[in-house]
Amino acid sequence: MNMPLEPLGQDDSARFPLDEAVKAALVRARSAGRAFRDLGIEQRHKLLQKAARYLLEQRKEALAVVESELGKVRGDALFSEVLGPLDAVNAWAKVVARATPKKASLNPLAFPKKSARTELIPRGVVGVIAPWNFPMAGLYRSVFPALLLGNAVIVKPSEFSTESSRWFIEALAKMLPPHVLQGVYGGGQVGAALLESGIDACVFTGSSAVGARVEARAFELGIPCSAEMGGNDGAIVLADADLNRTTAGLVHWALENAGQACGAVEVVYADGRIATELAAKLADACGRLRPALVPGGPGSLARLAHPKQLDIVLRQLADAVAKGATVLSGGKSSGLYLEPTVLSDCNDEMEIVREETFGPVLPIVSVDGPADAIRRINAGRYGLTASIWSTDIERAERLATELDVGVVTINNHAFTGAIPELPWSGRRASGRGIAGSAWSLLTFARPKAIAIDRSGGPDPYWVPFDQDLIELGDLLADAQLGRLGRAIRIPILLSRRVETIKRFFGMK
């Protein structure tokens, strides 16, 4: 999803006392977390609501930081980074409330005078290793549920978005008890130190190479780890699609944040009957978009976040052209800006089709119908999301079941990543982690069963085992099968067995 975490440079290492600072943060978090856990979920929800309101009130300051550091376009940053904290907190509170286990329903014959319930126990201290592309909103899906469930949280943001993530962490922490939320800052060595520090769970979002190492080390350390490792999301455009609306949707989802999103449209698989017309529409639309040349200024296209990312995209573009791709629009860069680029005549041999691009580039692959497109996507290295564009919704729904990815959207793309009630997960190199929904909560809490027996006497199934117990078992099996002819003997045998056990153990 993002650039691999880099080691700290020499100057950073000298300035940042790595292990000591991370360990000190863990000690503070563990101490603060005990009292925070005891507040209860309702009080934690109120605190987070207050904090989220503060973040909304300070949105202009937040916008200035992300615009300056990452070159985000104001309209995009407003909706993707700073408008969502209060909605996210409240939505996560509903997810947690619905996932909070209720009392078990027990068969009174099998479990007389017994009750049981399940509790969600917070892990303790959750470490979050976060990416640079959404340095504020990208933290909602881990920080909010972790805190609501009663954990303390330590965030290691990307070194490419330090100031944006620091602003979010410190603004949020200001409204919470001290040390419940902290940040540790630097490169890959800081992330490694956080993983090794003694945290109780880990959330990682980043590249497949680094994510695989994080997952393996977390397994060795015996801590749960949810890792999302990017995607190469395909959009399948069927011959019956509304091409005007489809063009608008594909351009948006390919170019939002300059394409620097794990859920961006990375490849368009267009039915060969409409591929040429669609390519022309995409090229025309992209050619009319203008960059935002100054932070907060007018324009629809953001710059790339840093030079290394631009180098990767330009290399992939050159590889595609060398292998036969035709540039229909864009392709030129100025500073960190890359013109929105539409490529036709693309194929699976091109790196820009096979790998995650993370830039404002849209390759188009002409396919022989939906089965061909699905086969290509399912054979790919990644499996995060995909979309199907068609006016035949029922057909699109049937095709969606054949896609081996975590999320499928019909006539739109990837918006579910902002919905806490829905799982965001992947296949293959996209990782095994789950962000969003109740399925994600086991990263932040563990289930604990508590059972209570109020009978005051022995269970009829305890030793010693005798012929009455065998007969009782046969009668219970018949009762389950609906053969109730001798069921009248079940209460008699239950009572007799209890008396037998009492006599054997000398009970009154």
Instruction: List active site positions.
Output: 228, 262
Beta carbons of 344 and 364 less than 8 angstroms apart: yes
Collapsing DSSP states into helix, strand and coil, what is residue 11?
Answer: helix
Helices (H), 256-322: 275-287, 307-322
Task: Catalogue the long-range contacts made by 458-461 (C-beta closer than 8 Å, 24 or more residues apart).
Answer: 458/498, 458/501, 458/502, 458/505, 458/507, 459/112, 459/501, 460/112, 460/493, 460/494, 460/497, 460/498, 460/501, 461/497
Residues 328, 68: Cα–Cα separation, whole Å: 31
Report helix, strand or coil for 305. coil
Whether 328 and 280 have beta carbons less than 8 Å apart is answered as yes
Give yes or no for a contact between 342 and 282, defined as CB atoms under 8 angstroms apart: yes
* Rounded Cα–Cα distance for residues 45 and 457 (Å): 43
Give the count of alpha carbons within 13 A of 236, CB side only: 29
Closest by alpha carbon to 359, among 377, 339, 343? Answer: 339
Rg (CA), the chain: 28
d(CA 333, CA 338): 4
Longest CA span, the chain: 91
Which strands, in side-by-side order, build the sheet including 341-344? Answer: 326-329, 341-344, 361-367, 265-271, 233-237, 385-389, 407-410
Question: Which residues share a beta bridge with 228?
Answer: 205
Q: What are phi and psi of 198, to 5 degrees?
A: 115, 15
Identify the sign of the CA torsion 10, 11, 13, 14: positive
Of 52, 62, 28, residue with least CA distance to 420:
52
Sign of CA dihedral 280, 286, 287, 288: positive
Taking each helix axis from N to C terminus, what angle separates 41-57 and 140-148, rounded to the nearest 10 degrees? Answer: 150
- Three state DSSP letters for 419-447: CCCCCEECEECCCCCEECCHHHHHHCEEE
How far is residue 258's CA from residue 235's CA, in Å, rounded to a whole number?
Answer: 17
